[in-house]
Every structure is written in C-alpha cells, then in structure tokens.
C-alpha cells in the first residue's frame, strides 16, 4: 500500500511535466467531431488505492468522455444480469483485428471475438437494452453509485456527435442482427451504446469507480459486492488480453497490468490488491490509445514496481 502520499504526489506532478509537448505525437479522435474540439494539451492522472487514498496531478479533475472504458461497466452489468449465458453470444479471445472490424464479425457468423471490441460492446448493450426497462438510466445510476458521485453526467454534445457519425457501429449491429445475435431494435441499442460512451468523468472519479476490480469484486469503500470474485478475475483477464486494442500484447509485455483505453484519451489500469491508475490525454496513437496516457500508466507502474506478473 501507499505509505508516503506526499512523495508520490510529487512524482505524479513530475511525470505530468515530463510529458508536456508529447501530445504532438498523437492525434485526437476527429472521426467523432465533438472529440476533435477537445484541447490536445490536457494531461491528468490519478491513483486510487483500496486502502482509501486518492491522489492526482495535472488536469485530473476535468471530466472527459470515457468512451470505450464504459465497456467495462456494461460488461459487469450484463454478467450480473444473465451470468454465464452471456458467453454463448460473445467470446473472450483477442481479436487481432481493428476494434471496429466488420470482416471478422462476418467470418465468425455474428459472434463478437470479445466484449471490449465494438461488436462485443454492442452485444453487451443489447443485453442491457433488452433486460432493463430503462437501460440508460440504469447505466448512469451504476456509474454514480460506483464513483459515489451524483454529479456524473451524460455529455449530450458528444452523444449527438456519436449518433450522427455512428454508421460503422450501426453496420456491426445490423450484421449481428442478421445472424440472430441481437434481440433489441437497432436504434434503441445504438442509443444506449452512444449514451454510455458519452458519460463524462474525470480521472479521480474513474479510478475510484473501478476499485472493486482491484479488490476481488468488492467495493472497498462501501464493502458492497459489485461482482463475484470469479467475474472480477474474468474481467481483468479480458482487459489483460484485449483492453488496449491491437496494442494489448505489447502493453501486457511491457507494463503487465489489466488495462482499458478509450478514444476520449482515457486509460485505466487495474492493480489487483492495490488500486487503480487512471490517466487522460486526448491525442491517440495509431492503435487508438492515448500517447501520453499510456506513457503515464507505464511510468507509474515501473516507478512503483506494479505488475501482475511479478
């Protein structure tokens, strides 16, 4: 556990300063116009630990669109709702293809390769849309409960931007529907998916909301069981193999932590029995992962000697 918070605080601030100017190595996700408007120079990082400490540096209290990091929370809700039946409809293997690949989904007859590529997340959104009377409200309520913060909101501007430029996701959903693997009506499913991607949170809120995955499924703040220890293990395993898109293998090799990125520039990393690291910087590398955000998580893990493979 963290013993000297002031020392680590200084290290985080130094790490943020060391990354200044590196935003030019990446590019913001301009295929979603609302994300293209975000200042590329923003950098934030936060660490939350299961023993109750939270620290941050830089722009760690500025909300951003969590995008694909939302797939973790949707997966937890779906696993809790339908259990192992979920794995009849989505696999748990690395994809080896871009996160929005249509070709792979066609080859595999509408069964997504894993729940954290877009097709898999749309399948999860179908489970939620079909089994909650108001899935969007249920999702937002879940996020607020986990973060213990009622101010968390849906960014309507990002939502509208996604809805107007989400044709590829619509294609994935209709393709799965054609194979009989989608139950809900596609417009309703897409509305849920774009809503969860448009949840706005800051690094501190995100780090705290994911502590249950570092604590065998139990929220260390409230002692509430969010998911079973087995499901926490499974989610961390999926994040280790697939959470950083086509950079997942390299990230596991060099950093060694279950992680998930989002095209809004966020990166989260789970440190079992320790805590959660969350970083944010909008410019992305060619894999769709934050350039600076990935650097920060890697540097912190190295600095603190954090890896699940020790």
| pLDDT tens digit sequence for 127-176 | 999 999 999 999 999 999 999 999 999 999 999 999 999 999 999 999 99
What lies within 8 Å, CB to CB, of 2 at 6+ separation is: 8, 47, 49, 51, 53, 55, 275
DSSP lists the bridge partners of residue 54 as: 48
**Stretch (H or E) spanning 54:** strand 54-58
DSSP 97: S
Question: From the candidates 68, 70, 101, 290, which is the catalytic residue?
Answer: 68
| N-to-C CA span, the chain | 16
> Which of the four pLDDT bands, split at 50, 70 and 90, describes residue 1?
very low
Contact 220, 276 (CB under 8 A): no
Q: Which CATH architecture has domain 68-197?
A: 3-Layer(aba) Sandwich (3.40)
Helix (H, G, I), strand (E, B) or coil at 12: helix
Catalytic residue status for 159: no
From 16, 65, 70, 71, the catalytic residue: 71
Q: What angle, rounded to 10 degrees, do the helices at 186-197 and 118-131 form?
A: 110
Which CATH superfamily groups domain 5-66+201-304? DD-peptidase/beta-lactamase superfamily (3.40.710.10)
Active site residue 28: no
Whether 245 is catalytic: yes
Query: Bridge partners of 71?
Result: none
Output the pTM of the full model: 0.95
β-bridge pairing 275-280 and 44-49: antiparallel
Q: Which of 263, 267, 291, 297 is catalytic?
A: 263
Cβ-contact 36, 233 below 8 angstroms: no
- Find the catalytic residue in 76, 193, 291, 298: 193
**Ranges of each domain in the chain:** 5-66+201-304, 68-197
pLDDT tens per residue, range 227-283: 999 999 999 999 999 999 999 999 999 999 999 999 999 999 999 999 999 999 999
Residue 29 CB-half CA count within 13 A: 25
User: Which two tokens mark 105?
Assistant: 């989904």
Catalytic-role residue among 76, 158, 177, 245: 245
263 annotated active-site: yes
The mean pLDDT value for 30-59 works out to 95
What is the total residue count of the chain? 310
Domains 5-66+201-304 and 68-197 belong to one CATH topology: yes
């Amino acid at each position: 556990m963290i013993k000297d918070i002031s020392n680590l605080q200084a290290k985080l601030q130094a790490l943020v300063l060391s990354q200044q100017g590196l935003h030019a190595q990446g590019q913001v996700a301009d295929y979603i116009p609302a994300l293209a408007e975000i200042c590329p120079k923003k950098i934030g990082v936060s660490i939350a630990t299961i023993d109750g400490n939270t620290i941050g540096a830089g722009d760690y209290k500025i909300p951003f669109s969590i995008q694909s990091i939302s797939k973790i929370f949707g997966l937890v809700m779906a696993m809790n709702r339908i259990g192992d039946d979920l794995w009849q409809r989505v696999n748990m293997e690395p994809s080896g293809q871009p996160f929005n690949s249509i070709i792979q989904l066609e080859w595999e007859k509408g069964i997504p390769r894993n729940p954290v590529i877009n097709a898999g997340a749309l399948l999860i959104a179908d489970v939620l849309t079909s089994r909650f009377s108001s899935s969007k409200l249920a999702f937002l309520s879940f996020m607020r409960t986990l973060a213990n913060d009622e101010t968390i909101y849906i960014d309507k501007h990002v939502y509208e931007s996604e809805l107007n430029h989400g044709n590829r996701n619509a294609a994935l959903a209709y393709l799965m529907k054609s194979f009989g693997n989608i139950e809900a009506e596609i417009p309703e499913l897409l509305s849920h998916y774009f809503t969860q991607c448009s949840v706005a949170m800051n690094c501190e809120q995100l780090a705290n909301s994911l502590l249950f995955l570092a604590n065998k499924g139990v929220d260390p703040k409230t002692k509430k069981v969010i998911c079973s220890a087995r499901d926490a293990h499974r989610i961390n395993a999926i994040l280790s193999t697939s959470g950083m898109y086509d950079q997942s293998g390299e990230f596991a090799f060099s950093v060694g932590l279950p992680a998930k990125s989002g095209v809004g520039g966020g990166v989260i990393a789970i440190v079992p029995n320790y805590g959660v690291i969350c970083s944010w910087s909008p410019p992305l590398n060619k894999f769709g992962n934050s350039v600076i955000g990935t650097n920060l998580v890697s540097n912190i893990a190295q600095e603190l000697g954090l890896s699940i493979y020790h």
